[in-house]
Structure 1
């Protein structure tokens, strides 16, 4: 298989993996009605995905640096097929928790290998394309999964019956095709050492990583809000009762993230972060105002602004960190980035689920949006006041 074909397969796999991660979100309100469980349990179902993902990242997240991208991806896609099969046959909240846990393990196993592989096989004439497709593919997949399932929910009360068989077959196909991926040169170590939790950033990458922390937390916390709570929020607070409303709202966010990721390629890494943080700050303020005014138009505008900001900052941060990371350390570096990202997505979301029964969904959402806006403003201030000198080439 040629590097060009391998690059295309990894790009498609990134979109597919992320589409599967967001696919259950529009179905959550249907599951709640079907099995009568609480919003708190809903956030538990959502965050158990992140528990599986983080566990996989901590143990096998950098494994592809040691044994190659191919075997890691084949195993990850087989686990992903298992998770979608579990969704297909789910008969209650316990089954959803099991399916989401398996889905998280699959995602955590594949993510760093996919991101590193896209950098490995990126065209020599366009070395930044790997980081760009990692960011854009992630958001495009999330938009596709949530949007398509949201529309399907409008037409049938059992969207899960149609979605998850297709996804199961898709991952089995990806596992088969991944057996043909070329193997890059790897660092051979004993098996126990390859899976031992070991998180270390190269000295070259540390300033860029720490500079990325505020915008990463803000952006991924915002995605947690949308994936876990927004389908219920638009139904109960903005009074959109049609079944596809939640999925389409998530799709708006991730379409904007995709646009922001593409837009960032026309700006410097620092310029992308500054513009993105400003958009997230303004978007969070617009979201808060839309809840006060019960305005779906303003909510959509705020969602789009926040999404643009997430795409700009995430892509800018990946570029600045990837540019100073040696190829043999890329998987481990992306593991650390994803651990921060998904911890930022899950911890605030779980906290919101815990307080929502006593605070109410609207007050909880205001607090969550305020948290995102404050961090975004802090990220903007840091990016403006403390510029970094970034190297253009990776160390060898």
Structure 2
């Protein structure tokens, strides 16, 4: 197929792919209460449905996360998008909880395979004089997509009894179209042979990237744990603890968190990476406290405020940490390192929320949420203190990648 897209158009297309992939992962969340009533399963089973998505995603990251470093970005993304279409098609035709589990596993495999290629491709297609645009687009596109999926589906749930009959057919068709379009973007990687060792499950971070990578872990875990709380339990919390009966409320609170997340990502672009991470961790600490207070006093307005504060914190920390990690990578290992970062992210997204789902029948949803938010608050405070020490001690890589790391690679399509 002849190449038709320039680098700028290709960058925009990868942003659209990121947004829609993330939208498809949050779209089921506002529908979960409808599924609970439709098929009569428990809140614990609900968090299992949420967690199996992450299990499939992490499995793909561990095995296929670096595949695009070998095969190229285009074929890996096209295949991933077709698998994503299969996942939304299963949701579209779901007839019970077994279908939900299957759909979430397929979604996880698709997203996990695409994640490293998307993040690396956005870095490599960024303008040479604006290397921070790739990590920023990854972070903002991720959060905006999560906001769009939750918000749009929540509104559809208010408008009618079957939002799943609208949103999943649209996503299925969109993924098929995008799979064809990514085949005509510039290829940024020279193809290498894929050996069995390349697909062996592993998490690998190159030696030169490790200091920056491990410094980012506390902030990543804190931010994605908040994300997991909202995606898995926010609709139930809004309905059963805050007693908001507006059907779209759960999805709208998810949308608010991720819109604030997007704003935080854009805000982070105005600061050095270390400053963005520090401010984000401080806001996450405050946001967790406000969310807990909102549940104590049954105050939906305070919960809304806490969602905004926490969302800003997630956007700042995620963008700041991605920029720091990006600055310590090279094109040869970039998708592998980003895949490792997402393994940490999605483990933080799923494991605390799964633990909350298992604890909720014994402790109650409200008490479980207090413990969850205390965990996030302590971790966020730890991340803020750690970021503060790194800032004052000067143990920080440059906030932007060096020219030798970020100069656009020679396209594999070039003569």
Q: Could you say whether these structures have the same fold, taking a TM-score greater than 0.5 normalized by the shorter chain as the test? A: yes
Match of 1:393 among 399, 402, 413: 402
Alignment correspondent of 1:39: 43
Is structure 2 residue 229 aligned with structure 1 residue 225? yes
Match of 1:111 among 106, 115, 140: 115
Secondary structure of 2:127's counterpart equals: coil
Deviation at 1:200, TM superposition (A): 2.1
Q: 2:202 & 2:284 partners in 1: Cα distance?
A: 33
Q: 1:295 & 1:29 partners in 2: Cα distance?
A: 21
Deviation at 1:187, TM superposition (A): 5.5
Q: 1:116 & 1:190 partners in 2: Cα distance?
A: 18
Instruction: Give the number of equivalent residue pairs.
Output: 396
Q: 2:373 & 2:352 partners in 1: Cα distance?
A: 11
Matches within 5 A, 1:349-388: 349-387=353-391, 388=395
Match of 1:189 among 166, 173, 193: 193
Secondary structure of 1:390's counterpart equals: coil
Q: 1:77 & 1:348 partners in 2: Cα distance?
A: 28
Alignment correspondent of 1:253: 257
Secondary structure of 1:179's counterpart equals: helix
The one-character-per-residue Cα deviations of 1:179-207 (angstroms, maximum 9, x if unpaired) are: 21222233513342332224321222111
The one-character-per-residue Cα deviations of 1:42-75 (angstroms, maximum 9, x if unpaired) are: 0000000000000100110110000100110010
Matches within 5 A, 1:205-224: 205-224=209-228
Q: 2:93 & 2:229 partners in 1: Cα distance?
A: 27
Deviation at 1:395, TM superposition (A): 5.9
Alignment correspondent of 1:262: 266
Question: Retained in 1: the 8 A contact 2:71–2:194?
Answer: no
Alignment correspondent of 2:412: none
Deviation at 1:237, TM superposition (A): 0.6
Secondary structure of 2:123's counterpart equals: helix
Q: 1:253 & 1:134 partners in 2: Cα distance?
A: 17
- TM-score by length of structure 1 reads 0.98
Q: 2:71 & 2:28 partners in 1: Cα distance?
A: 32
Match of 1:273 among 270, 277, 282: 277
Match of 1:241 among 233, 242, 245: 245
Alignment correspondent of 2:132: 128
Matches within 5 A, 1:1-396: 1-186=5-190, 188-387=192-391, 388-391=395-398, 392-393=401-402
Over aligned residues, Cα RMSD in angstroms?
Answer: 1.1
The one-character-per-residue Cα deviations of 1:207-231 (angstroms, maximum 9, x if unpaired) are: 1111111111111011000000010
Q: 2:103 & 2:195 partners in 1: Cα distance?
A: 28
Change (3 A) 1:394 1:65: farther
Deviation at 1:3, TM superposition (A): 1.1
The one-character-per-residue Cα deviations of 1:322-376 (angstroms, maximum 9, x if unpaired) are: 0110111110000000000000111111100001001000000000011000000
Q: 2:149 & 2:194 partners in 1: Cα distance?
A: 38
Q: 5+ unaligned residues in a row in structure 2: which ranges?
A: 406-415
The one-character-per-residue Cα deviations of 1:110-152 (angstroms, maximum 9, x if unpaired) are: 1110000001111112111011000000000000010000001
